[in-house]
Amino acid sequence: MLDEIIALIRKEATLEWRQKYALNGILLYVVSAVYITYLSIGVKGGTVQVPTWNALYWIIILFSAVNAVAKSFIQENQGRQLYYYMIASPEAIIISKIVYNTGLTLLLSLLGYIVFSVVLGNPVQDQPMFMLNLVLSAVGFSACLTMVSSIAGKAGNNGTLMAILSFPILIPMLLLAIQISKNAIDGLDRGVSLDKIVTLLAINGIVGATSYLLFPFLWKS
Amino acid sequence: MKATWWKVLAVALLAYTLIAGLLADVPRLPILNETVRALYFHVSMWFSMVIMLTVGVVYSIKYLRNGRLEDDDMALEFTNGAILFGVIGIATGSLWAKFTWGAYWTNDPKLNAAAIGLLMYFAYLILRNSLTDIFQRAKISAVYSIFAYAAFIPLIFILPRLTDSLHPGNGGNPGFNAYDMDSQLRMVFYPAVIGWALLGTWVSTLRVRYRRLARKMEEKMINQ
């Protein structure tokens, strides 16, 4: 099982590396989105308010993550899916996709963070906390979005469906992530965010477990 | 005819809710005053909604286990019923908020959770309509409905408790620490929840029967 998962993750990475346009496209998407935000709020050398910074950052990450993960079941054509169906177990497939998408989402968040810091300034006072929050929300986002993209993939793969199915499910995670990130930016005592981090972990656990249990039913159809 | 007792019970309970709910004494609570009666008509909507969603999810799981379309009918119609209750819950809550808080909508975790929950289930209906094959539709929407339910329950039970809220039932506002339900309120509230849930079940089962008949007719037409 573990070998299978590792092999599948390696396969995802190799495929991505061969078709660099998808990866580069999504990276450029993040940079452009940040830049558009920067120009739209028209900061003339000044800084934005912390809550605005926070909200804009997370909205950009949310949209980039939806776009990045949406392709995970679109990229592959019917024939190739049938091939995986024969050689790999559905559990291994969903876990490998979630792990791979977590990496991708994390990469996007980090890139977004760097570009944000460069153009809009970096108000974050508690860096380790902010990073921990990024990792946790990347796991949650990718678990939820991978599952939703496999559902949307069965229903003809349109982008609207992907968005309307995933947004309501992502909102609790997004709200928690925004609150934790706000605390980290203000450099509050870590005890303040502790219960929120635990809740975020719990939601990640629930979403991950349901994806793991439900994916085999989708895969069979 | 053997299965009518619960329909009679539903009508009796709802008649009791209407009469006792509007006429019986209620405790005088600051700010809430007479509007505490909304408990019987607004809060009970959410209870019935959660009950019906749970029934829907149970039938979704049943469908995934044995693939009978009858279970899918039940899952769909109970979810539909739950959505109806959710919409009524939002509408009644909004009216109540206008008279107590002065606005139809406030940025409150409970209100937001309710709205997000409805968004989830509207998305469920759209997902269903976007699939054409009936077995495919039943299976995929069952998967989504279970997934959404798993995300919805923490949303309504955990998140509102993390933040303070104006909404009665939680928060630090002394005048609103109501619903420390006294026995007078309970006397009507519990029957009201059961009554509304039974009414929802009645509506849903009627629609399930209609759906099954329609399928039978269709099959007859095809096989002619």
Report the 10 Å Cβ neighbour count for A117: 14
Three-state DSSP class for residue A124 = coil
Split at pLDDT 50, 70, 90, the class of A141 is very high
Strand locations in chain A, DSSP E? none
- Look at A108-112, B56-60, B128-132 and tell me which has the smallest mean pLDDT: B128-132
Split at pLDDT 50, 70, 90, the class of A89 is confident
Contacts of B65 (CB under 8 A, 6+ apart): none
Locate all alpha helices (DSSP H) within chain A, ordered by sequence. 2-18, 20-40, 50-70, 78-87, 90-120, 127-154, 159-186, 190-220
Residue pair A215/A147 in contact by the 8 Å Cβ criterion: yes
pLDDT of residue A221: 64
Split at pLDDT 50, 70, 90, the class of B2 is low
How far is Cα B179 from Cα B36, in angstroms, rounded to an integer? 9
Split at pLDDT 50, 70, 90, the class of B16 is confident
Residue A74 structure tokens: 């679109």
pLDDT tens sequence across B102-127: 778 877 777 888 888 899 999 999 99
> Which ipTM did the prediction report?
0.85
Report angle CA B193, B196, B199 to the nearest 5 degrees: 150
Residues of chain B that touch chain A, judged by Cβ-Cβ distance less than 8 Å? 64, 116-117, 119-120, 122-123, 126-127, 130-131, 135-136, 139-140, 142-144, 146-148, 150-151, 154-155, 158-159, 162
pLDDT of residue A209: 92
pLDDT of A139 strictly over 70? yes
A172 touches chain B (CB under 8 A): yes
pLDDT of A160 strictly over 90? no
Average pLDDT over residues B17-31: 74
All structural domains of chain A with their residue ranges: 2-220
Of B161 and B209, the one with more pLDDT: B209
pLDDT of residue B163: 61
Q: Please give the mean pLDDT across all residues of chain A.
A: 85
Average pLDDT over residues A78-104: 84
Report the 10 Å Cβ neighbour count for A27: 19
**C-alpha distances in Å from residue A22, one per residue of A8, A72, A97, B217:** 18, 11, 16, 49
Contacts of B84 (CB under 8 A, 6+ apart): B200, B203
Residue in chain B lying closest to A172 (CA)? B155
pLDDT of B177 strictly over 50? no
| CB under 8 A, 24+ apart: contacts of B17-22 | B17/B41, B17/B44, B17/B188, B17/B191, B17/B192, B17/B195, B17/B196, B20/B187, B20/B188, B21/B188, B21/B192
- Look at A2-6, A157-161, B4-8, B60-64 and tell me which has the smallest mean pLDDT: A157-161
pLDDT of residue B75: 92
Three-state DSSP class for residue A44 = coil
Contacts of A92 (CB under 8 A, 6+ apart): A1, A4, A5, A8
| Chain B residues whose beta carbon lies within 8 Å of the beta carbon of residue A211 | 147
Average pLDDT over residues B187-208: 87
Split at pLDDT 50, 70, 90, the class of B37 is confident
Of A185 and B29, the one with more pLDDT: A185
Residue pair A151/B140 in contact by the 8 Å Cβ criterion: yes
A171 touches chain B (CB under 8 A): yes
Q: How far is A104 from chain B (nearest CA, A)?
A: 23
Task: Return the HEC string of A161-201.
Answer: HHHHHHHHHHHHHHHHHHHHHHHHHHCCCHHHHHHHHHHHH
Of A157 and B119, the one with more pLDDT: B119
Highest-confidence segment of A79-88, B105-114, B198-207:
B198-207
User: Cβ of B140 and A211 within 8 Å?
Assistant: no
All structural domains of chain B with their residue ranges: 42-169+176-223
pLDDT tens sequence across B144-167: 999 999 888 877 776 666 665 556
Residue pair B151/B76 in contact by the 8 Å Cβ criterion: no
**Nearest CB to A151: which of B117, B120, B140?**
B140
A203 touches chain B (CB under 8 A): yes
B141, B147, B163: best to mutate for the A interface, most A CBs within 10 A: B147
pLDDT of residue B175: 35
Average pLDDT over residues B169-186: 52
pLDDT of residue B167: 66
| Chain B residues whose beta carbon lies within 8 Å of the beta carbon of residue A155 | 127, 130-131, 140
| Chain A residues whose beta carbon lies within 8 Å of the beta carbon of residue B162 | 195-196, 199
pLDDT of B196 strictly over 60? yes
Q: How far is A59 from chain B (nearest CA, A)?
A: 17
pLDDT of residue B115: 87
pLDDT tens sequence across A189-200: 888 888 888 888
Average pLDDT over residues B27-52: 78
Q: Please give the mean pLDDT across all residues of chain B.
A: 81
Average pLDDT over residues B3-27: 81
Report the 10 Å Cβ neighbour count for A132: 17
Tokens 């965010």 sit on residue = A193
| Chain A residues whose beta carbon lies within 8 Å of the beta carbon of residue B148 | 168-169
